[in-house]
Structure 1
């Protein structure tokens, strides 16, 4: 099982923090360190709403904008990661960040759960011919199937994920992992947002996950988006030590059950049915991408890259048309006023 340390944005934009995180976990036997190439305008609209922070409610767009780094930053991060014998992995959120990663010479990238329906991004990734790891939180089986077909020419690994922070252990439904593999014809791993360093990772190993991604940070009080649910270095090292100790066990599930207890393991295993997790259901269609106006539109205005974009809707805006229709909408004209930020719906066109 390949183990990925998801550092994400937990470095706070400081190379010294990147080095420190890598050094603190490097003694553990893991394989890959992952980061996120954040460009706010590729992710959300400035009117997407507020996020609660210690200093008070802050626009979510500003929160993402504060995490942006220059391309040279990722060049150094890649070099520092590979100098420690680890694979470098990074998530792009749109065409510009994907182009930046390709310029670094990466041989695989990670697609985050909300971007699994970002059809233009998936098409661009597929055309690159590089390996892809794609998380599937807040996604239906139909969403996963469409992404699988969009990335049909790619070396693709899916990660089962619950897009909730933190994710309840009981939402993981790990019995579905082999079924997901059969349904897609792809290998599956797990991206774990639960708080415990051992429970979901151990059950992932027991059911045959090929990859485990777990957030890691220097401190839960850090400035990274996912720091509150990340493992601190000592917890990450403990997780890997415990997982590697299980490698010699003949019966994986028995070994994990002995370690965690039958009731807890059963709760994590679930019932095999592939569905949205209870904790993420209300976010479906809002955490995901749809087509939004990026300026005020008047009747007769044409849709193109200057007037629409594929963005996460979040809680304050109206969801729009599915991104699979982005190319079809190009040069179509709206028949009524569409406010800046609103999702573009079919009634705006007919």
Structure 2
């Protein structure tokens, strides 16, 4: 599905035949509280994720005052609160960011964040965040995409809510502005995403349309969709997680808890093992099994020296590895034997006349 070129985050190659890059999406599930955010980092590191991602924004470059919450946000919180008021509570400043980065360095996990405007992009650049992740809300924001493309960092772009033409235009704008490494995420911007709207097959369409690497931003409930995306060629997968589904906030209920996050990582890595190699042929364990289970050529009737091999007197049985492999059966019909051979004897090459 994916092109053969690679994408990198701080020297870690991402692409076909590379380990899938797993992002634990903390998002705003810290509820604006640093202790919660630090614990989220700890849980992501313990689960084995490659990176943990937050959200970086300044309210005045993201939303107008009084804008209503999205329907899923209304279902998971105070429906009377405006979206802008909610986001104001969840915004984090530079000092908060630095504390998160320090904790990530301590725990050996990569810090990532999504900027939502020019100043938040500048902050992440100043903090040396190695890759810029653009949310679906900005897939059609051509002014911002041009800024992001010009920053010189690899870009991950979510594509939720966007048409094929809009996604192609976004990729074109980023590339034209100077983006040298681009990765697109198949995404459905609904929390949680109903199974019928996941549309994993469209990952291949996205790759064919743009020629870019493709991953999956998983907003479904549970862990099932991500391993399926891994099997279908996603090179990067992200998933929201929380410390507790019952915490107040817009994304907690559609997120994995820490135990589920660990299972999410385990199942994706298991799929990677199962995908294995592109090379055809027996596996190492099959090489041990082959002598016991594969058939070899066996004489079915008593033969005298000089008799001809036919379908009536030659067959294939399991012999425990003795004799000529059944693969050669058609080639040996019509050949003469050089000695008397009792029925039930595995045929050997030296039994055949030249």
Q: Common fold, TM-score beyond 0.5?
A: yes
Q: Distance in 2 between matches of 1:56 and 1:192?
A: 25
C-alpha root-mean-square deviation of aligned residues, in Å? Answer: 1.7
SS of alignment partner, residue 90 of structure 2: coil
Tell me whether 1:171 sits opposite 2:197 in the alignment. yes
Residue 113 (structure 2) pairs with residue 94 (structure 1): no
Q: Which structure ranks higher in relative contact order (CA pairs < 8 Å, sequence separation ≥ 6)?
A: 1
Q: For the residues of structure 1 that align with 2:56 and 2:222, how far apart are their CA atoms?
A: 27
Alignment of 1:202-281 (within 5 A): 202-250=227-275
For the residue of structure 2 that corresponds to 1:249, the secondary structure is helix
Unaligned regions of 5+ residues in structure 1, if any?
Answer: 253-350
| Contact preservation (8 Å) 1:8, 1:224 | no
Deviations 1:64-89 (A, max 9, x none): 11112221111111121122111111
TM-aligned CA distance change 1:56 to 1:129, over 3 Å: closer
Cα contact 2:23–2:52 (8 A) shared by 1: yes
* Alignment partners' CA distance in 2, 1:37 and 1:97: 6
Residue 31 of structure 1 and its aligned partner are, at CA, apart by 0.5
Counterpart for residue 141 of structure 1: 164
Q: Give me the whole-angstrom Cα distance separating, in 2, the residues matched to 1:84 and 1:209.
A: 26
Partner of 2:212: 186
Per-residue displacement from partner, 1:192-224 (whole Å, max 9, x unpaired)? 110022x21011011000011000110112244
Distance 1:57 1:200 in 2: 33
Q: Once structures 1 and 2 are overlaid, which stretch shifts more, 1-10 or 118-127?
A: 118-127
Q: Residue 19 of structure 1 aligns with which residue?
A: 38
Structure-1 residue corresponding to 2:67 = 48
What does residue range 298-317 of structure 1 map to in structure 2 within 5 Å?
none
Q: Deviations over 1:13-34 (max 9, x none)?
A: 2222122122223222220100
Q: Find the counterpart in structure 1 of residue 126 from structure 2.
A: 103
1:63 aligned to which of 86, 97, 103: 86
Alignment-derived partner of residue 15 in structure 2: none
Give structure 1 regions of 4+ aligned residues with deviation exceeding 3 angstroms. Answer: 50-56
Computing the radius of gyration from Cα coordinates, the structure with the larger value is: 2
| Paired residues, number | 251
Secondary structure class of the residue paired with 1:12: coil
Counterpart secondary structure, 2:207 = helix
Asked if 2 retains the 8 angstrom alpha-carbon contact of 1:42 and 1:93, the reply is yes
Preserved CA contact (<8 Å) 1:11 1:224? no
Distance across 2 between alignment mates of 1:249 and 1:221: 35
Give per-residue Cα distances to partners, 1:83-102, cap 9 Å, x unaligned: 21111110010111111111
**Residues 204-213 or 75-84, more deviating:** 75-84
Residues 36 and 91 in structure 1, CA contact (< 8 A), matched pair in contact too? yes
